[in-house]
Amino acid sequence: MVRYGMVIDLDRCVGCAACAVACKAENSVTSSTPEDYKNRRLMEWNRVVTVFKGKFPNVSASIMPLICNHCEHPPCVKVCPVDATYKREDGLVLQRYERCIGCKYCMVACPYQQRFFNFYDQKKKYVERFEKEAEELKKENKNVPITYLEIPYHNPDVPSRISGIVEKCTFCRHRIDKAIAEGKKIGSPDGVEPACTQACPAKTRTFGDLDDPDSEVSRLLRSRRNYQLRADLGTEPQVYYLD
């Protein structure tokens, strides 16, 4: 059996957030506005946070990239009333966007806040925003960059999301599916890997098959001390952190 997972070595992480940028570009996750930030509606499949313990001057802090943990016992799958969120045989927790009714039950059930609601139509908002900016540029008699109107960027491999549904990290399923179809090797260091893993300049992340004893992830988990996020909740995350 294949069971995909990720190992994140926190000793290597420099907190540059290249993974977050790569994820946004790869999965065409909508760019958030200042209002979204204020209203806590950020779309961040991948985010980099700092956790700390203690009071100054005795503080210990560490930078942590957070993604969907693709749990072995996912609470989001358990609560989905329309079976839109499901766990694939290879361990990926995925969604059928066309089935989601937007009840947001998975969002309250996820202990990791890794699910994001589409408060508006991503594509419509994108077009509206750039049309407005182009108009303003025209008023000032400046050149309008061609990217503003003619190439609304969207990765053709990733389905677009309409307003009113929930979305989340997919472990770049389109890359994995493509690799399976083309018979390529999957997993770090020399195979196909998710965009965040590929983008990391410090080789913080390692992606691969947790059930394969020869894979890089298994080797890392054997050799180093590791933990999962909120293992006390019994969700069995498939993303491991090395400390």
Partner 1 sequence: MEYTKINGKSTGSYVLIGILAIMVAVGLYEFIQGMIQGHESFGTSNIVPWGLPITSVIFFIGASAGALMLSSLTYVFGKEEYKPVSRVSIFLAILLIIGALTTILGELGRPDRFMNLFLYGPGNLSSMFAVNSFLYTGYIILSIVYLWTTFRDDLLKITKLLGAMAATLAIFVHTGTGAIFGFIVAKELWFSPLLPILFIVAALTSGVALLILILTVTFKLIGYKMDEKLVVGLGKYLTAFLLLQLFLVFIENIVRTYGGMGGGEMSKFLFEGPYSFVFWGIQIIFGTVLPIIILSSKKTMIKVQIASLLAVIGVFAERFSLVIPGQSVPSQQVVGRTMMGLYGEPAVYSISGAEVAIILGVVGAIGIAYIIGLRFIKLLPSQP
The residues of the shown chain that bind partner 1, judged by CB under 8 A, are: 37, 39-42, 47, 49-53, 61-62, 64, 66, 75, 77-84, 99-105, 107-113, 115-121, 162-166, 227, 229-230, 232-234
Alpha carbon of 190 to those of 43, 98, 121, 126, 203: distances in Å?
30, 34, 37, 36, 12
Contact 46, 168 (CB under 8 A): no
Which stretch of DSSP H or E encloses residue 75? helix 75-79
Q: How far is the CB of 175 from partner 1 (least distance, A)?
A: 25
The edge-to-edge listing of strands for the beta sheet with 4-9 is 205-209, 4-9, 239-242, 226-228
Q: Which is nearer to partner 1, 45 or 171 (CB)?
A: 45
How buried is residue 88: exposed, middle or buried, by Cβ count under 10 Å (0-12/13-18/19+)? Answer: middle
Q: How far is the CB of 201 from partner 1 (least distance, A)?
A: 22
- Tell me how far apart the alpha carbons of residues 102 and 170 are, in angstroms, rounded to a whole number: 18
**Nearer residue to partner 1 within complex by CB, 65 or 187:** 65
If the CB atoms of residues 78 and 88 are measured against partner 1, the closer one turns out to be 78
Tokens 């509206």 found at: 128
Other C-beta atoms closer than 10 Å to the C-beta of 41 total: 15
Nearer to partner 1, 85 or 188 (CB): 85
CB of 190 to partner 1, least distance (A): 31
Compute the least distance from the CB of residue 200 to partner 1, in Å. 19
Which residues neighbour 174 within 8 Å (Cβ) at sequence distance 6 or greater?
Answer: 155, 157, 158
Considering the complex, what minimum distance in angstroms separates the CB of residue 241 from partner 1? 8
Q: What's the min distance (Å) between Cβ of 146 and partner 1?
A: 29
Nearest to partner 1 of 76, 195 (CB atom): 76
Closest to partner 1 by CB, 125 vs 219, is: 125
CA-to-CA distance for 102 and 116, rounded, in angstroms?
A: 11
